[in-house]
Structures are given as structure tokens and as C-alpha cells.
Structure 1
Amino acid sequence: MLDLERRLRGSKQRLLFIALASVCILIVLLNIGVLSDAPGIKSTIIKVPLRGDRPYDTIPFPTSDGSDFEGSYQPEDAHPIAGLMKEADEKWRKYEESRSKTFRETVAKYREKHGRHPPPGFKEWYKFARERNVHNIDDFEQIMDDLRPFWAIDPKVIRKMAAKLQENPDDGIAGIHIRDNKVVNLTNPSWRSETLAGLISRFVKYLPDMDIAVNRLDQSRVVVPFEDLQELLATEQGSRKMKSDARDGFTKNMGHFLNFEEPTGDWDNETNPEWFPYPGRQYMDIAKLACPPESPARNENLTVEDADALYKHQLGGLVTNFNLSTDLCTVGPAIQDQHGFLYSASSMIASKRLVPVFSECKVNVNNDILFPANMYILKDPRYVYDKTYDYEWEDKADTLIWRGVTSGGVQVEDNWQRMHRQRLVMLTNSTLMSDQEVKILTESFEEKGKYENFSHFEPSVFAKKHFDVGFTDAWGCIPGDCPFYKDIWTFKEAVTLSEQFKDKFLVDVDGHSFSGRWRAFLFSKSLGIKATIFREWHDSRLFAWRHFIPLDNRYDDLYSIMTYLIGTGFKTNPADNYANNNNVYVRKHDFEGKMIAMQGRNWAQRVLRDEDIEIYMLRLLLEYGRIIDDNRDEIGYSGDGSELDDFDKKHPMPESPPHLNWNTI
């Protein structure tokens, strides 16, 4: 009997073993089918890696909202991008830790930074911002920097300039006019001023009377020479004061606003902007006047290599300082013949005087007053994030995509090669690059995990496999039909913004001015790669190498970046090594790419929302309202912030998003 029981038990065990073995075989067969990339088969099986097979042994992939960051990240090698990511993470962490959490802290920090009381209406703005879940209540330095020089100008002179600037339609300025807490009129209107007026109407009840001069052109307008600006800033510095009895309210019934019934009159010496047209000419001729004397733009003893050393890594030419990479005083001499705005701007009307012009973007030498771009407010489907094709990272193609028209500068037969968009298309075209070599980084054969420059990478096969970059139409040429492009390239089919999210990598470059796609790129699950010379309202909130990858305006680091993200194949299999590049090896860094993409998306959902645009614009106009007030030294919020203690308890500051500890395993 016992023997029979033992035999039955043995049979059951054998049957169980056979069943388990069958399941294992089935799983193996399914994985083989997935790995074979058979048509119609969609992978739903997660590969379980061996330890050391990927650089994320201690943490899972981040999810779409970036919420699954747990544990620590250990870079897999000594590639300089790993160091740049670590540095960016540390800077961002300090930024997060410095946030004010209460109205008391916010007011105290304002006074410490700016030497003045906050403007009238600051308490109401604070509540407005906190009720809309603002993430960082302190980060409005762009506003303060833009308005600082105007403290050196008499308020009534600023009001007179703002009232008159939009008088001549040929000057490219529109006017928005606020009276008695309403937008009452638009002068010389355009879609830009109409859109902005609609935004302002949402919170106009908080604003004093004012005239707002809005730039109608794509290009920024104001370039104050360096020495003149330093005098203005010195005057502002000396005018700082904080009266204990400051009045928390704006002055009523001031003069020098636009009279809608009577012309403003002729310009006088105080208010004349002295506009001068500058289309089709080199912008650095006027831009360099706004640069410090010791800068590369004005110091002829500094070479391009000297300038590069200020913001580029010696390995791969990677951008180490995104701010300097967009600084014309630093990079201007190197790119003045390689960017359409700098080489041949299409609609330039500029002034060297400090005039109160509100613009959507500017280069670093400009003194325009920045406001959030109307394209973000207008909800144009060409520029608004749409999740339809925004697949999960693993389901996106290992491809860098870009589409656009040939805008950026006035193009003629002998200058189009100098335009920035055209250079990008040529650099990523496999046919045009068939006999070219580019610089990348390769892993050292002598020391695993170390990288060194390699200047002879042949990019044609890599470009064909991983780049989808091209023009959809010709535009902005003389003659208008752009005949000189006929034998250069074939125009590609347009791809909607949402469809571009099928690809992992989205490169963003300038057009006539800033790119309206950038905000949508950041909201997507794809990875944004950014080259620009323009500044926008949100720049201080975005951290290069944490929320996006910076690209030099010459694009000489593009292949270093893309071979890092995608890899170049394996040394043991020359067939995968992209033709005649058998001495090059870069392993794929897919995890790092996904991590930056998800961190950028998570951050955009916190600091680039529609609510953040409203918060920024209201704060800007309150500060501007104080600048133009005849009693600006006598007004402001002088309290200690205690009256909002109960409000702060009911509206706690949002928590910081989770972040990685790069220093431990």
C-alpha cells in the first residue's frame, strides 16, 4: 500500500514537472517570436535582465508621470553626459529646497532679493497663485530683470512712450489699454495683441490703468548698449528703499495715458524710440554693442575656441552651460554666419533706447519685456500637446524627427547654406552626408567605460536609420518660389505634431524667432533636444540635462548625443557598426533618455501649465503697474505676511516630485 502511494506521488510530481517545463518552453517560444520582430507581433513580455545588463539594477523604469523613481541611479560608464545629468540633478534639488512655503517667507525673500517692498496687489496675487497650485512662488526673476532698468526712467515718461509707441502701424507695435479694471480698447491690433488681451481679461480686476505696447513682429526690438544699460542699472540699485508706511494701492487718475480721441502728438527727446530698420543684415553688428567689453563678441583677442571652452565639454563638444550657449556675447562670433536671425533677419526694426515693448521672446542682449507667447494661449492645434500618438517610451521608434518650412531668415541663392534650419536638414541627410565625417565619442578599447573623441565617424548609415528630418515647404526666399532648392532636396510629407510623438527624440530649433512647439514637446513622453538663441519667460524653470538635452547652435554635438542615446552597435558584430566605423563603439543609453524625457514631462505638468501662464502674466503687470506709478517709491505691500497664515495652512505648497540620489548605489 505504501509502495503504491509512493508510485502515485512520483507520478504526480513527474506530471507537474512536465507541465512546468511546457510552460517554460511556451514562454521561450513567445520571446523568440517577439525578438524576431515578426510583422504584426506586439511585445507585451518584459525582458528580465541579468545583473549588470542595464544601468538600473536598483530602480524600475520611470512611469509616464515620472512617479516611479525609487532608490538610486548608478551611471553605467564614465560618459560625460552621466556627469552632466548628475550636475543638473543637484542644481535642480537646490532649486527645489529653496522654495518659500508661506506668504511670510515669500515676502521676506522678495525684500532680501530686490531691496523693495512687493508691489501693490501682491497679497492678492499670492492667493491667486496658490489657489492655482503654483509650484515655485519665488521664481519670477525674469520679470524683475526685465523691469529693473525702467526704475531709472521717470514713470510719466514710460507712460508717454507706451501710449505713443503703437501710433504708427509701420512701427510694428500694437496697444492694449486698461482703464477702470477693464480692457477698454486695442490700438493697431493684431492676433498677438487680441490673444493677449483675452488672457489679461481673466484677471484685469486686479490691475491699475495702463497702456501696454505689444511687439507685432517675430523678432525682438530693443538693444540698449552695454555702457548705457550699466548706468540705468546703477541708478536702479541706488533707488532701492522700503518705507514702513507704504500704501498698498496704486495711484489713481494719473496723466500721460493714451487719449483715444486726440493724437498723442510728436515725439520728444525723452520718448522717441528712434527706430531703425535692419532687415537682411548681420545682427551681431548691433548686438555686440550690448555686450561687456571683455566678452568674445567685443574682445578680438578671444578666439572661437576660447568661447567654446566657456560652455562646451572638451569631450564631444557637449553643452555644459545652456545659458551661455544662448548668449550672443559668448557664441555670437561663432554662429553669426550660421543662423538666419543673425545673418539675414527678415523683419528687423530695432531701437537702442530703453522703450517698454512687450515681446514673446528675445535674445540675451535685448531689453524687451518678456511675456508668455500668444501661441501657447491661442490653442493652435499645430502647437498644442495632443496625446493621441504619444505612446509609451518602449513603443516609440529609435528615431529623431523634425519637420518645418525654410523659415529663419531671408534666403537667396548664395546664402541659404548659412541658415540654421537648412544646416540641420543637410547634417541629418544620409545622402548629403555620404562622403562626410563627423565627431562623436567612442568608448576606449583600452579602458572600458571611458570615452574619447573620435573625429572620423561616417554618419550616412546612422542618419538613414535614425533620422527623419526634412522640409515640408519652401518659404521666405528671394525670388519667392525658391528655385535654388530644386536640385538640393526633396520635400517631405507634413507630420502633425501629435504624430511626431511616435518617435523617441524630438529636436527643436529656431524659426524666425522662438519655436512654438517646445512647450508641447516637454509635455510629451518623448525626449526634447533643444538648440536656440532665444529666451522665453520660462527658461529659469527648466534645467538642461534634467528636463531636456541642450544642443549647440552649430549642431556639432548632434551625433555625439544621438550615438549616446541609440548606440552604435557592438564591437563583436561589425555588421551592426554602421559601415566603415568598426573602431567605434558606444553602448545604448536608453534608460537615460527615458529618464530625462519623463522628468521633463513631469516638470512641465507642474510649471508650464495654462495656470502658470496666468500667474506669470498677472505678476508681470502688477510689477509693471508699479514701475509706471508716479508714487512708485511710496507704494507696496509693507506687512510681514502674517495675515495669510491661516490661508497657508489650508493651501500647503505642492510637494517636490521624486528625484534620484545619484551619489549612492
Structure 2
Amino acid sequence: MQRSHATVSVQLWILALGILAAFLFGASVRPLLGYSGRHSAAKPLPLSSVLCARTSPPAAVAAAAPDVATDIPPEQLWVPLVEPRDSYRAAADFYPYARPPPPGFERWLEYARPRQCLLGRYDRLEADLAPFRDPADPGRRSITRAALARAAELHSTVFYHVRDGRVSFDAVEELQAVAREYLQVLDRIAPHLPDIDFVVNTLDTPRTLPGEGTFAERLATTCANASAELTQRGELHGYVINSLRDGSDVQRELLPVISMTKIASCHGDLVAPPWYHIQHLAGKRGQGLGLETDVCRPGAPENLAWHQRVPHLFFRGSTTGGLVREGTPYQRFHRHRLVKLAADDPRMDVGFSAYLQCEPEVCAEMEAQYGRKPYVPEREAYRHRFLMVVDGNSFSSRLLWTMSSGSLVFRSHLFTEWYEDRIQPSVHYLPVRLDYADLSERLDWALTHDAEAHVIAQQAAIVARLHLRIEDVECYWLRLLTEYAALLQPE
């Protein structure tokens, strides 16, 4: 009889936990269903309780979506990307594009499922590959060996080869270390790939801008459908200023080059997770939380309660963003304009800690004009409630781990990253125009809408926790190379 009572007790506990889980998960998807209930007494949870609980991803998501009084439309307060994990669904059911999956897609699913990677839409990747597809025959092998050979001849590239599930590479001596960083991912996924060859660009700028004419002419034609920020404000970004002024070796031909970043709807490069994301994330394999953050460690700056963080907008960095020599209009560069704008605003702690990529005389001239602030380690920056992320020479590599910090990200950018379709402006960060015309207004909003700002910061941390892990990097690389292999002509 005691055994029976114990069994009943266990069953009741299971039922109670099931009801609680259903309630929590329901709370997480209310915004998706148009739920507009508001309870001003509710507050965002401490970041550590959101991210450090040993729960399955759906429960962790549910815990992070409290009902708060907000001026943000309900449909924007959501945690996306929760997908079914039905292992019995056919592989084609996970492929949302209007063509059959590529050969090897089932092997990708077998790799991605146990690692809890996203299984459905990879729209950023799909857009990158679109120029290489034949519209009349999307499955045709349209990447020629001749184009691949020309890509491999570009300076600062590594030529990788997969044979019988093993990876090798060709690279000049100064690129050997970077080439080996990529092996931390490529060695793991190679057994799931066919024999292929591919080229990886080690520069932090893209290499192809297809079209005719000068860089300026291609910028006006090829990039006509790019963002308004590029077409209307591109002269405010160091990359564009340098390229227009000093010329660019970006290729006119569409070549199969895998790069760290590009300007969407502009460059022809295929974007994949860069080596320094791999380097930082690899040490967190299996822990869910990546890069230089460790929110679950007591006392860590990024584990400070929201109200304990200094309510300032913080940025510290170097003068990357363009090469500066005598006569270069560096005053128009994106980082320089940010530092000047913030100089007299007591709500902002923004400054340069190093002067780089400039001739010595010009470096001294810039330092006299903009000053120098002490270097602040990344983790110490997390003591500030608001963090500014702005492009460097191209994209800002710090965005990924800044999203893990629990602080609210303000982001101004032209360049996109591999996980761009996993994050949304005003949901995971506050977007800022390239000319910073709306920066003060954005900061005013964050200071006067504390609960909403906190929710956005939490949602960014959750996405980083669940979908920006080393496992996600591996799945992205494998998905990209699986699709690429289906388009590459055989030897």
C-alpha cells in the first residue's frame, strides 16, 4: 500500500510540474498569438535566473517573457526560434524552400538535431547563395571550377579541401594560424560532408562586388537595393569613404568566397561565422553560453542586477573603421563622429582607447582632437546598462558577446553577420542610424522606459544562450557547405 501511495505521489508531482511547464510555456508564446495583456507590477527576472536555470530551452524561454507595461507593440516582445523537435518528420519537411533539399541534407539534420540547432529557415544563407543559383534550374551545379580557382588566387585567402571526411588546406605562412582556427569547426563537420573544395577569406572585409565600372559605379548599381543607410548615408562610413577615395581591390566578378561579413544586397560573398567567434565560443562547448561571458558565475560584472548597472551609454574602442593618412577625411568616419557627438553628453561614456591604422603624425593629430580614455576590459564594460556597438573596419565582432551581457545594446551598422536573421531590431537591440541623428532620442527612450529596455536586453541574452553557441556555428558551417557542395561542379 505504501508503494501505491508513493506511486500516486510521484504521478501528482509529475502532473503538477506538467501544468506549471504548460503555464510558463504559454506565457512565452502569448505575444506570438497577439496577447496584449499588461501587468505593470510584473518585473523582468534577474538575468542569472533566466540563463542559469538548468532547464530545457522552451522553459528557459518561458521564464524570460514576463508581462510588463510597455509601449512596444506586443508582437515585438517575443522570443523567436522555438522549433519542434519531432525526429520522425521527413527531412523535406524541415526544408522551407521551393526545391528539393540538397544531397546530404539528412546528414545535416542528423548533426543538427542532437545539438539543438535551428532546423528550419536559414534565410541569410539562402540569400547569400541566391546569386549562384540558376533561376531556371536552382539545383544546377553553377559554381564552376574556374571561378573557384580564381577565388583561391586572391590574397589573404585559405583554400580548404575535404577528402574522405578529413580537412586539409593551402595557405601562406602568415595565414597558417588563422587557417587552423577554422579547423576547430571544420574537423568536426567534415565527416558529414562530401569531397569538396572551398575558399575562405581571412580579411574582415568582403572581397566581391559584382558589376561593371569603378567601385563608386558598382556601389550605385549593384547595391541599389541595399539599405537606405548605404545608398543615402554611405559617405559616413569609413569603409565606403576609403574605398571611394583610395580605390578598392574588391572583385568585379561573382566568385565563391566565404567571408566574415558583407553589406547585404551588395557584396557577393558567402557569409559564415568568423574564426574569432569560433576561437571564443569553442571554450564554452556544451555550456550554452558563449564567448567571453559567464553570466552564471557569481560576482561576474555581467551578472550584476539591472538596477546596479550605471545608466550610461558606454563605448570604448580603437580608431578602426578606415585607414587614415594625410588628407583623409577621418572626421566623417563612423567611430570618430560617435566620439565627437558624445563628448559633451553626460549620459554617455564614449571614447577612444587606442589610435590605430593611421600615420604617426595623423594619429597624434587625432588624439589631440578626440582625446584618449583608458582601456576597459570587455567584462568591466558590462557594468554599464547601455552598450554601444558600432562597426569597425567592417562588422563589429563584439556584437555577439555583448548580446550575452545583460546590458541593452545600441547598434549602428552597415555590415551584416551570419546570425542576422536570428535577431531583430527593437526586439534584441535598439537600432541607431548611421548618422546618429536618432541616438539621443533612443537613449532618452531607454532611460524613461526602464522595464522595456530590460526586456530587450534579456531577450538578446536568451538568443545568445540558445542560438549563438559553438554548436550553432558548427551547424551553420555544415548547412552552408552542404548547400555549396550541391552547387559546385565536380572535378
Of 280, 293, 296 in structure 2, the residue corresponding to residue 379 of structure 1 is 280
Pair 1:393 & 2:313 matched = no
Distance in 2 (CA, whole Å) between partners of 1:213 and 1:352 is 17
2:321–2:392 Cα contact (<8 Å) kept: yes
- Alignment-derived partner of residue 74 in structure 1: 69
Could you tell me whether the CA contact under 8 Å between 2:94 and 2:119 is conserved in 1? no
Distance 1:480 1:161 in 2: 43
Q: How does 1:509-588 map to 2 (within 5 A)?
A: 509-566=390-447, 588=448
Q: Match for residue 627 of structure 1?
A: 487
Deviation at 1:190, TM superposition (A): 4.5
Does the aligned pair in 2 maintain the 1:529–1:548 contact within 8 Å?
yes
Match of residue 355, structure 1, among 211, 234, 255: 255
The alignment partner of 2:336 has SS state of: helix
Question: Equivalent residue for 2:13?
Answer: none
* Partner secondary structure for residue 483 of structure 2: helix
Summarize deviations over 1:490-516 as a string: whole Å, max 9, x none.
Answer: 201100001100111111000001111
Alpha carbons of structure 1 residues 503 and 151: separation in structure 2 relative to 1, 3 Å: same
Secondary structure at the aligned position of 2:353 is classed as strand
Match among 315, 325, 342 for residue 402 of structure 1:
315
2:205 maps to 219
What's the counterpart of residue 121 of structure 2?
A: 139
Matches within 5 A, 1:274-313: 284-292=216-224
SS of structure 1 residue aligned to 2:375 = coil
Unpaired segments ≥5 residues, structure 2: 1-37, 51-60, 284-289
Given candidates 369, 375, 398, the residue that maps to 1:494 is: 375
User: Do residues 173 (structure 1) and 157 (structure 2) align?
Assistant: yes
Query: Of residues 88, 92, 97 in structure 2, which corresponds to 1:107?
Result: 92
Amino acid corresponding to residue 509 of structure 1 in structure 2:
V
Superposed, 1:311-330 pairs within 5 Å as 327-328=226-227, 330=228
Match runs of 1:168-317 below 5 Å: 171-188=155-172, 189-225=175-211, 284-292=216-224
1:366 aligns with 2:349: no
Shift in alpha-carbon separation, 1:70–1:173, aligned structure 2, 3 A: closer
Matched with 1:32 is none
Verify the 8 A CA contact 2:339 2:370 in the aligned structure 1: no
Cα RMSD, aligned residues only: 2.9
How far is 1:539 from its partner? 0.5
AA of the residue aligned to 2:479: R
**Is 1:608 aligned to 2:468, yes or no?**
yes
Pair 589,221 (structure 1): closer, same or farther in 2 beyond 3 Å: same
CA contact (8 A) 2:260 2:273 kept: yes
| Whole-Å separation in 2 of the counterparts to 1:213 and 1:480 | 38
After TM superposition, list the pairs within 5 Å mapping 1:436-447 onto structure 2. Answer: none
Q: Residues of 2 paired with 1:412 and 1:354: CA distance? A: 31
Deviations 1:230-249 (A, max 9, x none): xxxxxxxxxxxxxxxxxxxx
Conservation of the 8 A alpha-carbon contact between 1:176 and 1:197: no
Amino acid at match of 2:476: Y
Q: CA contact under 8 A between 1:359 and 1:368: conserved in structure 2?
A: yes
Q: Is the 8 A contact 2:239 2:322 kept in 1?
A: yes
Question: Does the C-alpha gap of structure 1 residues 71 and 157 become closer, same or farther in structure 2, counting only changes over 3 Å?
Answer: closer
Partners of 2:105 and 2:143 in 1: CA distance: 25
Could you tell me how far 1:597 is from its partner in structure 2?
0.6
CA deviation after TM superposition for structure 1 residue 554, in Å = 1.0
CA shift at 1:143, angstroms?
Answer: 2.0
The alpha carbon displacement at 1:534 in A equals 0.5
Is 1:421 matched with 2:406?
Answer: no
1:130 aligns with 2:113: yes
Shift of 1:540: 0.5
For 2:359, the equivalent position in structure 1 comes to 478
* Percent of paired sites with the same residue: 26
Tell me the alpha carbon deviations over residues 559-582 of structure 1, each in whole angstroms, 9 at most, x when there is no partner: 10111222xxxxxxxxxxxxxxxx
CA, structure 1 residues 385+158, in 2 after alignment: closer, same or farther (shift >3 Å)?
farther
The whole-number CA distance in structure 2 between the counterparts of 1:185 and 1:420 is 36
Aligned residues of 1:100 and 1:106 also touching (Cα < 8 A): no
Cα distance change, pair 193–70 in 1 and its aligned pair in 2 (3 A): closer
Which residue does the alignment assign to 1:343? 241
Residue 165 and residue 337 in structure 1: after superposition, are their counterparts in 2 closer, same or farther (change >3 A)? closer
How far is the alpha carbon of 1:629 from its aligned partner? 4.5
Report if aligned partners of 1:363, 1:535 keep a CA contact under 8 Å in 2: yes
Distance 1:196 1:114, change over 3 A: farther
Match of 1:149 in 2: 131
**Which of the two has higher C-alpha Rg?**
1
Structure 2: how far apart are the matches of 1:70 and 1:484? Answer: 49
Aligned length: 420
* 1:549 Cα offset (Å): 1.0
For the residue of structure 2 that corresponds to 1:201, the secondary structure is helix
Match of 2:11 in 1: none
TM-score by length of 2: 0.78
> What SS class does the counterpart of residue 222 from structure 1 fall into?
coil
Contact 1:405 1:474 in 2 (8 A): yes
Structure 1 pair 486/606, CA: closer, same or farther in 2 (3 Å)? closer
Residues 159 and 199 in structure 2, CA contact (< 8 A), matched pair in contact too:
yes
1:101 to 1:552, Cα distance in 2 relative to 1, 3 A: farther
Picking from 349, 357, 370, the partner of 1:468 is 349
What does the per-residue CA deviation read over 1:191-213, in whole Å, with 9 as the maximum and x for residues that have no partner? 44322233100121111122211
Structure 1 stretches lacking a partner, 5+ long: 1-54, 76-81, 229-275, 296-326, 431-462, 567-587, 632-665
Q: Is the CA contact 2:229–2:433 (under 8 Å) kept in the aligned structure 1?
A: no
1:486 CA drift (Å): 4.1
SS of structure 1 residue aligned to 2:316: strand
Q: Which has the higher helix share?
A: 2
- 1:40-55 to 2 correspondences below 5 Å: none
8 Å contact kept, 2:353–2:373:
yes
